[in-house]
Amino acid sequence: MPISDDLRKTLADPTPLYALAGAGDLAVEKLREVPELAASIAADRKGAQEKATARLQEAGARLTEAQAKVAETVSTLPTDLKALQERAQGLALQSVGRAAELAVKAREVYDELAERGKVVVDRQRKDSAEELNVIAARAESKADAFAAEVDVVEVDVVEVDVVEVEVDEDESAKPAAKRPTPRKNTPKP
């Protein structure tokens, strides 16, 4: 049963949906900035081409330097296996530390997106509730208008003639005759 409880708990948690809503909201926000960026890029196109050419030349120079450093490093690589093993272990530990940092950062971003999504969902719920209140107010005003129309309709008054009945004193002493109770008509199937 613990597995089904964990699964039920996981499926009931709205945090992933909030994160998705937050990511969508962030994407919409960033997409709104695209037209401005496109306009500025088009305006700076010529300058960008010149900068790109200069950077390409710089990159070529850096590549040449890097090739020289690689060649120098390869020629000076320690031949001792123990030194290589220690360097590999050091790099592995650095990688593990970096991976842990990235996991923490990813969790922070996930939580931020979830919070942002929760705000978006709450805002949508509030807007929906306001729309329902407006609809209810309209329905209530229409019901009031209908009730006012019903009150205006005149009701015909039926006149009833009063008939006097004479009762003998002798008969008044007698107990009243029992009236039969009317039968209820039940509809036949």
The pLDDT of residue 56? 87
DSSP 3-state of 1: coil
HEC letters along 32-87? HCHHHHHHHHHHCHHHHHHHHHHHHHHHHHHHHHHHHHHHHHHHCCCCCHHHHHHH
Q: What is the pLDDT of residue 188?
A: 56
* C-alpha angle 39-40-43 in degrees, rounded to nearest 5: 90
Decide if 58 is inside a domain.
yes
Is residue 55 predicted with pLDDT exceeding 60? Answer: yes
Confidence of residue 99 (pLDDT cuts 50, 70, 90): very high
Calpha distance 54→48 (Å, rounded): 10
Total structural domains in the chain? 1
Least confident window among 6-15, 27-36, 126-135, 149-158: 149-158
Task: Note down the domain range covering 44.
Answer: 13-139
Asked if residue 176 has pLDDT above 80, the reply is no
- Residue 41's pLDDT band, with cuts at 50, 70 and 90, is confident
> Residue 156: its pLDDT value, please?
47
The pTM assigned to this predicted structure is 0.41
- What does the pLDDT read at residue 100? 93
pLDDT of residue 170: 57
8 Å CB contact between 115 and 22: yes
Q: Say if CB 121 and CB 21 are below 8 A apart.
A: yes
Mean pLDDT of 86-99: 92
The answer as to whether 179 is a domain residue is no
CA distance 18 to 110: 10
Residue 90, domain member (yes or no): yes
